Structure 1
Amino acid sequence: MKVLLASPNFHQARGNTVTVQRISDNLNKLGIETEIINITDGSKLSSLPKADIVHGFNAYRFGHFMKGLREKPERYVITMTGTDLNIDLHDPVKKTLVIQTIINAEAIHVFDEEAKLELAGEVPEAKDKISVIHQGTVILSEACADYKKEHGTFLFLLPAGIRKVKNIPFAIEKLKVLYEKNHRIRLWLAGPIIEEEEGNIVKTLGDKNKEWVQYLGQIPHHHMGELYRQADAVLNTSHSEGQPAAILEAMEYNLPVLAANNLGNRNIISHEETGLIYTNPVEFLDYADKLVNNNELRIKLGHAAKLYVEGSHSSEYEAKTLQKIYEKILEKSPSKHD
């Protein structure tokens, strides 16, 4: 069996890239051949490489990509990655294409039960095609000596591509309130600039706060382990998430995570058990302050987070479940080329 994995922005170190590469690697371990193609940023493909099944990531992006193909794939699977479910599906301009892409898919993969309920509510015709598979995790290298935390400081790490939905200026502006009371606080931002305008805003804010904020740029994913190893806590301030790989990675490193109250974050983190979820700026400041000043809380949350990830986010299970979905599709609809 050959599976073609169609990923948006595959050339950039961002969540979808991590997800697609992990799935590809683990499908390969099961003896499944994979090929990854990039479907955004002016992709010039007008026809697809030969494959038994196409697996697209992000319903809107994949649907838009298919419009430019001379011949549409016979059978495809869709993974709803977050923005397509939480934003595009409710956008008057994009909604029709998202729904059309979903309805024509053989199977739809979401990361959690809440996402399944939301999608089934919006597109009832797709209800029986939706499968829930939690994201797996990958082992990261720590061989990156380019960045060193200052001795005696408390380091927050925010790993995210810089775009408006990630709400990175919020993290800088709110943490500044704590920094003015406690000069031990530091913030590292790690991720590519995806939206130039937002990148300029973040860089300007970073320059104004250079005593304690550092933008590290795009870090190769296999080097992220070193950043997690040095961090004291990890932030996620996104307005919307699917199931953020960066949070799962942080949790696997025993790190406490402070995250915005959105669908994807809620379905990974149990508030005050495996991390902290904030709903407004006051809560963000309160929880961030607690993380800085309560070592016992950090250890408790980090330990519970690691146990949760080890028990619920197996990459092997993720790949084997996708394999079953592919096989079921191929059994019920043999290719006209077979």
Structure 2
Amino acid sequence: MKVLLASPNFHQARGNTVTVQRISDGLNKLGIETEIINITDGCKLTSLPKADIVHGFNAYRFGQFIKKLGEKPERYVVTMTGTDLNIDLHDPVKKTAVIQTIINAEAIHVFDEEAKLVLAGEVPEAKDKISVIHQGTVIFSEAGADYKKEHGTFLFLLPAGIRKVKNIPFAIEKLKLLYEKNPRIRLWLAGPIIEEEEGNIVKTLTEKNKEWVQYLGQIPHHHMGELYRQADAVLNTSHSEGQPAAILEAMEYSLPVLAANNLGNRNIISHQETGLIYTNPVEFLDNADKLVNNNELRIKLGQAAKLYVEGSHSSEYEAKTLQKIYETILEKSPSKH
């Protein structure tokens, strides 16, 4: 079997890229051939490479991509990655396109039960095609780049592509209030600039706060383990998330995570059990302060986070479940296979 994985922005170190590469690696281990194509940023493809099944990521972007093809894929699976479910599906301009892509799919993959409920509520006719498969995680090798935090400091890490939805200025502006009381605090930002205007805002803020904030730029994914090993806590300040791979990776490293109260984050983190969730700036500051000053809480949350990820986010399970979905689709239409 050959599966064509169609990913938006595959050339950038973003959540979708990490997800697609991990799924590809997992399928390869099961003996399934995969090919990854990038479907955004001036993609010039007018026809698809030969494959038994096409698996698109992000219903809106994948739908826009297949519209431009001379020959549409005979059968495809689509993964709802976050923005398509939480934003595009409720956008009057994009909603119809998202629904069309979903209705024409043989199967739809979402990361959690709440996402399934949202999607089934919006597109009831697709309800029976929706499968919930939690994201797997990646284990990083020990070797990598050499990132070292300053001795005696407390390091928050915020891994995210720089775009408005990630709400990165909020993290800098709020942590500054803690930094002014506790000069041990440091913040590292890691991720590519995706929206230039937001990139300029973040760079300006970083420059103003250079004593304690550092923008590391786009980090090759296989070097992220080095950053997790240096960090004391990880932040996610996004307005919207699908199921953030970076949070799962941080939890795998037994790191406490402080995350915004959105669908994707809520579905991974149980507040005060496997991490901390905040709803407003006061809660953000209160919880960040607790992480800095309560070593026992940090250790407890980090250990519970690691256990949760090991039990619920297996890459092997993810790949095997997708394999079953593909096989079921191919059995239904053997004449085309």
User: What range describes the TM-score normalised by the shorter chain of this pair?
Assistant: over 0.9
Q: CA RMSD in A?
A: 0.7
Task: Give TM-score, length-normalised by structure 2.
Answer: 0.99
Q: CA deviation at 1:147?
A: 2.4
CA deviation map 1:201-223 (0-9, x unaligned):
00000000000000000000000
Deviations 1:233-292 (A, max 9, x none): 000000000000000000000000000000000000000000000000000000000000
Contact 1:13 1:191 in 2 (8 A): yes
Shift in alpha-carbon separation, 1:112–1:6, aligned structure 2, 3 A: same
Q: Write the distance in 2 (CA, Å) between the matches of 1:95 and 1:38.
A: 23
In the alignment of these two chains, the number of paired residues is 337
Instruction: Quote how far apart the aligned CAs of 1:333 are.
Output: 1.3
**So what's the TM-score if we normalise by structure 1?**
0.99
Distance 1:334 1:50 in 2: 16
Q: Which runs of no fewer than 5 residues in structure 2 stay unpaired?
A: none
3-state SS of paired residue (2:317): helix
Q: Does 1:288 align with 2:288?
A: yes
Q: Cα 1:322–1:178, aligned 2, differ >3 Å: closer, same or farther?
A: same
Moved over 3 A (4+): none
Per-residue CA deviation, residues 27-82 of structure 1 (Å, 9 max, x unaligned), is 00101000000000010000000000000000000000011100000000000000
Does residue 277 (structure 1) correspond to residue 269 (structure 2)? The answer is no
Aligned-partner Cα distance in 2 for 1:70–1:198: 36
Displacement after TM superposition at 1:125 (Å): 0.6
Q: Is the 8 A contact 1:153 1:184 kept in 2?
A: yes
> How much does 1:148 deviate?
1.2
Does the 8 A contact of 2:83 with 2:240 survive in 1?
A: yes
Counterpart secondary structure, 1:217: coil
1:63-109 deviations in Å (ceiling 9; x for gaps): 00011100000000000000000000000110010000000000000
Contact 1:141 / 1:226 at 8 angstroms: preserved in 2?
Answer: no
In 1, Cα distance between equivalents of 2:275 and 2:148? 25
Q: Distance in 2 between matches of 1:163 and 1:333?
A: 41
8 Å Cα contact 1:168-1:202 kept in structure 2: yes
Indicate conservation of the 8 Å contact 1:142/1:224, yes or no: no
Distance 1:239 1:65 in 2: 26
In structure 1, what is the Cα distance between the partners aligned to 2:142 and 2:209?
A: 28
The whole-number CA distance in structure 2 between the counterparts of 1:336 and 1:120 is 29
Deviation, structure 1 residue 335: 4.4
Whether contact under 8 Å (1:56, 1:79) holds in the other structure is: yes
SS at match of 1:131: strand
Distance 1:72 1:281 in 2: 47
* Percent identity over paired residues: 94
Deviation at 1:130, TM superposition (A): 0.1
Give me the whole-angstrom Cα distance separating, in 1, the residues matched to 2:168 and 2:293: 23
- SS of match in other structure, 2:74: coil
Residue 144 of structure 2 contacts residue 222 of structure 2 at CA under 8 Å; is this kept in 1? no
CA contact (8 A) 1:160 1:189 kept: yes
| Residue pair 2:190, 2:215 contacting (<8 A) in 1 also | yes
Q: Which runs of 5+ in 1 are unaligned?
A: none
